[in-house]
Copies of this chain bind each other. A is one copy, B any other.
Amino acid sequence: MQTESQSRDVFYVSDGTAITCETVGHVVLGQFPFRANEQTFPFIESNDKLSELIRQIEQSFARHGVRPLVFFSMVVPELRERLQNAPAYCYDVLGSIVQNIQADTQMDPVPQLQRSRSVGKDTNTYFDRIAAIEYTLAHDDGVSLKGLEQADIILLGVSRSGKTPTSLYMAMQFGLRVVNYPFIADDIRALRLLPEFEMHRHKLFGLTIDAERLTEIRENRMAGSTYASTQQCQTELATVESLFRREAVPYINTSSLSVEEISARILEKSGLKRRLF
């Protein structure tokens, strides 16, 4: 028997991708002390698929003796009703918001099955997004410094400070064209900004990180190397941070931040606007 305080089965259920259910559920569950066994059931658009899901909810209830949690979003009233009759605690993630907006704005909603970013609706958005990803891939890790005039932002930092994942996230989620350029250990003594960046100074943004955390990350990659040593990390970081300050490049410390948080902080500090929602 599952003890209440230790773990709970959690189902994310939607007639679409279930991404919104996952996002909301994950954030909400972060506030509760139990461990969540999460499972996602996207594209539940038919009675057959729903029956299979309800069978699994019933099994979970039978096995653990407590109702699983279900975060759901479903447009068709009949399916929604069947789901809500299953032995689970059900939470509608868009919940009362749609109704409240309807009441506030006096406008009627048009429920849509396909709700995430959709291609058909807006081809330009699709192309913008793909173009941002391609540009960012082509300018990852200093591979190319051509076409900097098209860049929205240029990230600078030592190896393993979080540049690549942040760049890709910003391209994918915000539609931004991101260049990232590493400071290499050999350059570190006579560190200066590349002349290529002069004309694009306003696009420069630095990432830094605590030496302790950097050592941990580099150890995970190359255990026992000079590259990963505390001494080396400290030297690189001190030099780079002093460059950021001297050249008035805004920067943030990524040590305790997720990629999402780093990206949101960069937008906030740089004043850059996202091109996609």
Q: Which of A's residues lie within 8 Å of B, judged by CB? A: 4-5, 8, 16-20, 22-24, 26-28, 30-34, 38, 40, 42-43, 67, 69, 71, 73, 89, 91, 93-98, 100-101, 104-107, 109-112, 114-120, 123, 126-127, 129-130, 133-134, 137, 140, 164-165, 168-169, 172, 216-217, 220, 255-261, 263-265, 267-268, 274, 277
Contacts and interface: CB of A to CB of B under 8 A. Distances in A.
Contacts of A172: 165, 168-169, 172, 259
A263 B17 CA distance: 9
B264 A17 contact: yes
A267 B42 contact: yes
A176 to B, nearest CB: 13
Contact of A105 (B89, B127, B164): B89
Contacts of A118: 256-258, 261
A110 B43 contact: no
A204 to B, nearest CB: 21
Given A4-B107, A34-B107, A94 B24 contact: yes
A75 B164 CA distance: 31
Nearest to A168: B168
A261 B97 contact: no
Contact of A264 (B43, B97, B123): B43
Nearest to A117: B258
